[in-house]
Homo-oligomer: A and B are copies of this chain.
């Protein structure tokens, strides 16, 4: 769909935001970016997304200034820009909403403040420091519990152990 997904006449910034970030897969791609995924092939393996759609979404996100595309070594890196990082509160609150109100057959991921080790509360605040830490200062880990059908790609494997957000992954 690219830009102008049919929400033009809404005259509303929620609609504008959804033109960039509201398409199928986009928020999951960004979630992976926060986890530290940077390469085309890793997105492909971790999300069950088709190549064509992944290409299109990455292009849209780069065009919108949410990701930066940077050739590197053998390959290409996609990195969150400041605008991209600013989406963290949205992603976190939607995740927490799902955890609270929707049934799921898998353990949630927990975010903790790297400096003091406390788990964040529902609003993303560190209960010890009282502040909302920067995403780069968070560690994700999987809560205890059995996942019925765990994935087995390289990204999923790294994410079984605690991992510092935004640091390169596999």
Contact = CB atoms under 8 A, between A and B. Distances in A.
Contact of A9 (B11, B94, B132, B149): B149
A102 B16 contact: yes
Of listed A17, A28, A100, A150, residue having the most chain B CB within 10 A: A17
Given A89-B93, A93-B93, A108-B13, A102 B6 contact: no
Copies of the protein in its oligomer? 2
How big is chain A's contact interface, by range? Answer: 35 or more
Given A14-B28, A14-B95, A17-B95, 14 more contacts: A10-B28, A11-B149, A11-B150, A13-B95, A13-B98, A13-B99, A13-B104, A13-B109, A16-B98, A17-B94, A17-B98, A20-B98, A21-B94, A87-B97
